[in-house]
Amino acid sequence: NVTATAARLNGELTDDGGDTTTVTVYWGDNDGGTTAGNWDNNYSLGTQAEGTFYHDVSSLSSGTTYYYRYYASNSEGGAWASSTESFLTKPAAPTNVSATDGTHTDKVVITWTKSTGATGYKIYEGSNLLATVGDVATYDDTNAPAPTITAGSAVASDGTYMAHVALSLSGASTSNGASRTYKVVAVNETGDSADSSTDTGYRGVGSLTYQWQMSAGDSDASYSNL
């Protein structure tokens, strides 16, 4: 019952002494112990019978440890719960998720802004979990689709020139790697955050060079560089 901004504070009244008993809950991001004035927040649940009860709180900060304690009172006096309980809210979703667009030929680099209270991050491509990493803000997707090269066609002149053979290349082209869509989820010991916003990225094509070769004879074999 703990999310990034809300939680259910459970308690139990074990013995009301046979008298009408009022219960108050105290909570905050520091342990106020058994002094009401040391707590940041409080709320009276009114009269409670013996047994379990709870109070839902909201507007909490994500990735933060909170403490709470119940106090019960009736005409005979009052008593604090035997101990203070604590819980950690889930982290908020990472922000500023960005994937590189052709910056690298061998990978897509995904970066994000960390979430408070997160101990790790899950990186997804669509709905597929790519990796779970620690307390970092970057991940390299080296399995992103590679860019492609279309070789084209080589043409050599046949008897046009007495002193040489003219060589030309046509139809050569390149394409970036196929795009992938990424999202990041923050995690801590309580659970996972909501999904981040998404961003697309792809591997780019580097500078191309060409090397002409010729065969040793009139066959498609035994090539050497010109």
What is the secondary structure of 155-166 as a DSSP string?
Answer: EE-SSS-SS---
* pLDDT score recorded for residue 209: 83
Cα–Cα distance, 10 to 121 (Å, whole number): 29
Q: What is the pLDDT of residues 166-211, one digit of tens each?
A: 999 988 889 999 999 999 999 999 999 999 999 999 999 988 888 8
* pLDDT score recorded for residue 172: 86
Across the chain, what does the average pLDDT equal?
95
Single-letter code of the amino acid located at 18: G
Q: Does the structure show a pLDDT above 90 at 128? A: yes
* pLDDT score recorded for residue 77: 93
Cα–Cα distance, 141 to 139 (Å, whole number): 6
Q: Does the structure show a pLDDT above 90 at 216? A: no
Strands 108-113 and 95-99 turn out to be: antiparallel
**Helix (H, G, I), strand (E, B), or coil: what is residue 212?**
coil
Output the furthest CA–CA distance in the chain (Å, rounded).
119
Q: Does the structure show a pLDDT above 90 at 132? A: yes
* pLDDT score recorded for residue 56: 98
Query: The pTM is what?
Result: 0.84
Q: What is the pLDDT of residues 65-120, one digit of tens each?
A: 999 999 999 999 999 999 999 999 999 999 999 999 999 999 999 999 999 999 99
Sign of CA dihedral 43, 47, 52, 53: negative
Which residues are paired to 140 by β-bridges? Answer: 109
